[in-house]
Amino acid sequence: MKDKLDKLGARLQTKEIRIPVDLTVGILFFLLGGVVLLIMPQQVAISERDVVNGRAFPRLLMVLMMFCCALLVGKEIYKIAKKQPLEYKTVNLLVEIKALIILAILIISYLLAKWTDLFVVGAVFCALAFLIYFRCKKPSYYVITVGMAVGIWAAFRFLLNVRF
């Protein structure tokens, strides 16, 4: 199992994706600005009597954001036209998969705590899951970490009076 994982890891480590940063940011946030402007009438109620209503400030922000995005995209298009190199960010597939695993641990810990309405259940799962993620083989680490997880819950529950 360990060897299989190591082989898979070594294979994934070589796989990389290059993202043209400014172009991606420009397009993504331009779209976000457009969507916010589109949904604003449904999401922000206003009174007709207001001189400056609740939509004025978010609208100003989105216009500024879209203007900045247009600048970024324009700059990148100019670079492409002039055959100048773009700024890229390299994303490693192995790193992203590991990040997704960590994120999954966080989400499962949260769901366990919520569904059982016992924070300590989520906390103990979180402690064990991370030790397994780090491939820890020392039993003392398991004892210490689980003990501390229960300790933190107890401190919040009984000292700070947080009921969970």
Partner 1 sequence: MLQHIIPASGLLFTLQNILWINIGVFIGAVFAAIPGLTVILCVILFLPVTYSMSAIPGMMFLLGIYCAGGYGGSVSAILINTPGTPHAAATMLDGHPLSKQGRTKAALKIALYASTFGGVFSALALLFLGPQVAKFAAQLGTPECFMVCVFGLTIIAGVSGKSMIRGIIAACLGLLISCIGSDPMTSYDRFTFGVGRLYLGLDLAVCLIGLFALVEIVSRAEKKPEELHMDTSKMHDNGLITKAEYKRMARPTLLGSLIGVIVGIIPGTGASEASWFSYSQARNMSKHKEEFGHGSVEGVAAAESANNAVTGATLIPLLTLGIPGDGTVAIMLSALMINGLNPGLSLFTTQGDIMYAIMLGLILVNIFMLLQGKILTPLFAKVVSIPQEILTPIIVIFCFAGAYSVNKNYFDVAVALVFCVLAWLLRKLDMPPVPILLGLVLGKMTETNFRRALLISNGSPKIFVSSVYCWIFIALIAVAVFTILRGKVKEKKPQAEPVTKEE
**CB nearer partner 1, residue 1 or residue 52:** 52
Residue 35 corresponds to which tokens in the numbers above? Answer: 């969507």
CB of 123 to partner 1, least distance (A): 5
CB of 105 to partner 1, least distance (A): 8
**Continuous segment of H or E residues that includes residue 19:** strand 16-20
Q: How far apart are CA 24 and CA 32, in angstroms?
A: 12
**CB nearer partner 1, residue 1 or residue 104:** 104
Distances (CA, A) of 15 to 10, 80, 96: 9, 25, 11
Q: How far apart are CA 156 and CA 151, in angstroms?
A: 9
**CB nearer partner 1, residue 4 or residue 74:** 74
**CB nearer partner 1, residue 8 or residue 64:** 64
Query: Chain-centre distance of CA 146, in angstroms?
Result: 26
CB of 109 to partner 1, least distance (A): 7
CB of 63 to partner 1, least distance (A): 9
For 45, list phi and psi in degrees, rounded to 5: -80, 140
Instruction: Kindly report the number of other CB atoms within 10 A of residue 14's CB atom.
Output: 9
Query: Chain-centre distance of CA 52, in angstroms?
Result: 35
**CB nearer partner 1, residue 15 or residue 89:** 89
CB of 34 to partner 1, least distance (A): 13
